[in-house]
Amino acid sequence: MNTLPKAETGAWRELISFQVTRRIAQLYGGKHSKAWHTNMVFGDPPADFDPTTLTPEQQVALARTEGLMKKGMGYRLQQSTQPQTLAYAMTDSPVGLLAWIYEKLVAWTDRYNWMDDEVLTWVSIFYFSRTGPVGSFRIYFEAMGNETTPFQAFREGATPEIPLGLSHFPGDLVVVPKSWSRMMGNVVFDSEVHEAGGHFPAYEQPEALAGDLRQMFGQGGSAYGVVSGKSGY
């Protein structure tokens, strides 16, 4: 069983974990991987998509996603082309790194009330790690060297057939209608859109995310008993 909530510590880790988990489901689904769950929900519009069927809430969500793609990707362009230059500056200036990260903590969460100690803990992890700030920058450079972007990862290869669970949070970076996300695989659990939560739901809304996992894998859930002889009870 593979699940993504353990990878909620940063945007790139979430993207990488999504790709790795989906790849595991493709290669080993049914044998070593029995089911997977993600709160990073992608999707393309179906061939018969009619824009007039969108609800006002869906229209707002798609407009927000489109705005992010147009005006919120500057950090990714910088980190994927000149990571070392950026790393010198951020290593030399902890205040600069604080500003670089704090802007995303605010913009990518759903009205989360950040405390000073929380922000300093997040920034310290990047600053005092063995690699320092360059580690979180250079991974963009390494991954963007090919033609495929992380946002296209869900289109690659065969669609996994093992059970898939989706958790929807209204403040995430990419928010698409459920009819789109159901093209991601064999969706057996599809949560309602939670009342709150952004790009880091395991941190912002841990009970909501854990509740989805309990519903999916718990007794009576759509993925209950996917591991033979291991019911969890």
Q: How high is the pLDDT of residue 123? A: 96
Mean pLDDT value across residues 187-214: 95
Q: What percent of the chain has pLDDT above 70?
A: 86
How far is CA 173 from its chain centroid? Answer: 8
Segments making up each domain of the chain, as ranges: 78-143
Q: What is the pTM of this model?
A: 0.83
Q: Which two tokens stand for residue 108?
A: 């990518």
pLDDT tens digit sequence for 82-125? 999 999 999 999 999 999 999 999 999 999 999 999 999 999 99
Reported confidence tier of residue 16, pLDDT bands at 50, 70, 90: low
Under a CB-based contact definition with an 8 Å cutoff, are residues 216 and 188 in contact?
yes
| DSSP per-residue letters across 85-110 | HHHHHHHH-HHHHHHHHHHHHHHTSS
